[in-house]
């Protein structure tokens, strides 16, 4: 058995994927991993952990007991969150503290597993309290940032200072002070409640607790790479202490090819049932190179009924081929009798099939494989950080269509800072709607016009930089090496 490291992720779905990817990377270096989780995620993780163990990877899945009403995942839709209170997911993450405290105490007393005491605890950056709990038991804590440094730098200032205290330009833009470069935010790039938020705001108070607690970590690792946002890596480090960039954390084969082999690229964790995945890949096989637009708003979000209609009609009018991961709209009741297809404009599904213009995925999409497929030439994305890293690693330019919070900051990074995306024009006065005419225009801009070609060229440069970063001798490779050797040098309990 190798040296033992314990890992603990946030309850948020999206964080499990980079956590499991990191676990596999550490195990490949000879470490033993205990992956601590709650009943919410045991079903999605069990088969992956078992498969990893069968393949000789030393990953142990351990359940931390918590009350079954702790958080009902799936009912938390980010679109409907009220940020003046603490969002349910962040609140539930904070309330894990006493349960993990008890778990770690029992673990160290060998009541849970025969594994030895961990050399360190890698805990999600949303779990600020993990620093104090780990310290109580004499275990060094590593904070794992699953977001990028640009977005986190902006996020940190905006939530700490609050927009009402930020300087404004004559045209009303918010100026974010203290960054390496001037960053201006529009009203639309902030959450609806944020411009008016007062010091009583629950999310503001949460970040005032979490960031200083994270600064007590022994180490900080970030799922990004230096060549993508180096200035902001340096800035974030100067504010929050030494960090190591070790991303993009993706399966190694994701960097190897962009061809029909893409079918072999599986994510570290699947968080849903993939029913149409194989058919989708076959449909892509029949399409010309870089002519298909992939559309997904992430693992948890969905868009409104009105927006589904505008997007569908805009896509049809664009004439561009697409694969759309379609979910039940955010404002429709979840009902086992309805299919997400029922919310499309009448007849559209049939027309898309007859013209062979579009393919709808209703379950969990094989996103990595789709992005790696040679037919895929663009991505409408909500700009979750994993989506940004994945499209970068595959060289696919974006239409940035953020839905909330730091997704807007990721969108700003890809549109304004590194120039690999066009922005979906959301109309604040129309409930953030992007109209069908705007959809048609931006889709054609990305997939057909000269501008799209420029973005694709720039994205391919970044793809090469990502591959270099994780390859032998690259920035992330060296940082990961250093991180592993530092862990190995920690005293055994």
Instruction: Give the footprint of ligand UDP on this chain (CB under 6 A).
Output: 14, 17, 267, 296, 298-300, 325, 364-365, 367-368, 384-387, 390
The secondary element (H helix, E strand) that includes residue 231 is helix 226-240
Least distance CB 386 / ligand UDP (angstroms): 3
Residues in Cβ contact with 392 at an 8 Å cutoff, skipping those fewer than 6 apart: 228, 248, 420, 459, 462, 463, 466
Q: 387, 381 in Cβ contact below 8 A?
A: yes
Least distance CB 293 / ligand UDP (angstroms): 16
Residue 238 vs 261, nearer CB to ligand UDP: 261
Residue 73 vs 368, nearer CB to ligand UDP: 368
Least distance CB 404 / ligand UDP (angstroms): 9
Q: Which residue has the tokens 């868009």?
A: 303
Residue 240 vs 299, nearer CB to ligand UDP: 299
Least distance CB 279 / ligand UDP (angstroms): 14
Scanning 69-218, the segments in alpha helix (DSSP H) are 88-94, 97-108, 130-136, 149-161, 202-214
Of 242, 261, 264, the closest CA to residue 251 belongs to 264
Give burial (CB, 10 Å; 0-12/13-18/19+) of 356: exposed
Least distance CB 306 / ligand UDP (angstroms): 21
Round to whole Å and give the CA distance between 27 and 97. Answer: 27
Residue 118 vs 248, nearer CB to ligand UDP: 248
Q: 72, 295 in Cβ contact below 8 A?
A: no
Of 220, 104, 219, the closest CA to residue 152 belongs to 220
Residue 384 vs 474, nearer CB to ligand UDP: 384
Q: 248, 146 in Cβ contact below 8 A?
A: no
Residues in Cβ contact with 313 at an 8 Å cutoff, skipping those fewer than 6 apart: 345, 348, 436, 439
Residue 158 vs 249, nearer CB to ligand UDP: 249
Least distance CB 270 / ligand UDP (angstroms): 7
Residue 20 vs 185, nearer CB to ligand UDP: 20
Least distance CB 476 / ligand UDP (angstroms): 17
Residue 34 vs 392, nearer CB to ligand UDP: 392
Least distance CB 364 / ligand UDP (angstroms): 5
Which contacts qualify for 332-339: CB closer than 8 Å, 24 or more apart? 332/305
């Amino acid at each position: 058995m190798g040296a033992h490291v314990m890992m603990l992720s946030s309850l948020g779905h999206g964080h499990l994927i980079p956590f499991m990817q990191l676990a596999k990377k550490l195990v490949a270096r000879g470490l033993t991993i205990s992956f601590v989780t709650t009943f919410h995620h045991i079903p999605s993780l069990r088969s992956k952990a078992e498969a990893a163990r069968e393949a000789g990877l030393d990953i142990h899945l351990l359940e931390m007991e918590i009350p079954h009403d702790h958080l009902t995942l799936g009912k938390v839709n980010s679109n409907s969150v009220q940020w003046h209170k603490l969002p349910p997911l962040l609140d539930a993450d904070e309330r894990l503290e006493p349960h993990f405290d008890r778990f770690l105490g029992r673990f160290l007393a060998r009541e849970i597993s025969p594994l030895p005491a961990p050399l360190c605890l890698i805990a999600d950056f949303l779990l600020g309290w993990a620093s104090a709990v780990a310290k109580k038991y004499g275990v060094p804590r590593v904070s794992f940032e699953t977001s990028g440094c640009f977005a986190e730098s902006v996020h940190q200032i905006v939530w700490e200072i609050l927009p009402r205290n930020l300087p404004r330009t004559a045209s009303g833009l918010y100026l974010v002070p203290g960054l390496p470069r001037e960053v201006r935010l529009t009203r639309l790039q902030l959450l609806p409640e944020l411009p008016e938020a007062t010091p009583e705001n629950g999310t503001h108070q949460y970040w005032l607790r979490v960031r200083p607690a994270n600064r007590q970590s022994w180490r900080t690792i970030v799922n990004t790479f230096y060549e993508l946002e180096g200035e902001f890596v340096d800035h974030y480090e100067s504010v929050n202490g030494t960090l190591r960039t070790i991303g993009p954390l993706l399966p190694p084969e994701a960097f190897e090819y962009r061809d029909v082999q893409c079918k072999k690229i599986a994510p570290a964790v699947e968080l849903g049932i993939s029913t149409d995945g194989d058919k989708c890949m076959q449909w892509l096989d029949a399409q010309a190179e870089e002519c298909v637009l992939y559309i997904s708003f992430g693992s948890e979000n969905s868009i409104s009924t009105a927006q589904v209609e505008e997007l569908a009609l805009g896509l049809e009018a664009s004439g561009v081929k697409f694969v759309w991961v379609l979910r039940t709209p955010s404002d429709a009741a979840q009902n086992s009798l309805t299919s997400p297809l029922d919310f499309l404009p009448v007849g559209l599904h049939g027309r898309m099939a007859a013209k062979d213009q579009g393919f709808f995925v209703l379950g969990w999409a094989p996103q990595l494989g789709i992005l790696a497929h040679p037919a895929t030439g663009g991505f409408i994305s909500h700009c979750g950080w994993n989506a940004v890293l994945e499209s970068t690693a595959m060289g696919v330019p974006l239409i940035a269509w953020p839905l909330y919070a730091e997704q807007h900051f990721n969108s700003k990074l890809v549109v304004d800072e590194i120039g690999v995306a066009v922005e979906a024009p959301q109309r604040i006065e129309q409930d953030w709607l992007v109209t069908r005419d705007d959809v048609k225009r931006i889709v054609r801009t990305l997939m057909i016009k000269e501008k799209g070609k420029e973005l694709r060229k720039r994205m391919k440069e970044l793809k090469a930089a990502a591959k270099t970063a994780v390859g032998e001798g690259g920035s992330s490779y060296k940082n990961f090496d250093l991180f592993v050797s530092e862990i190995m040098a920690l005293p055994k309990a």
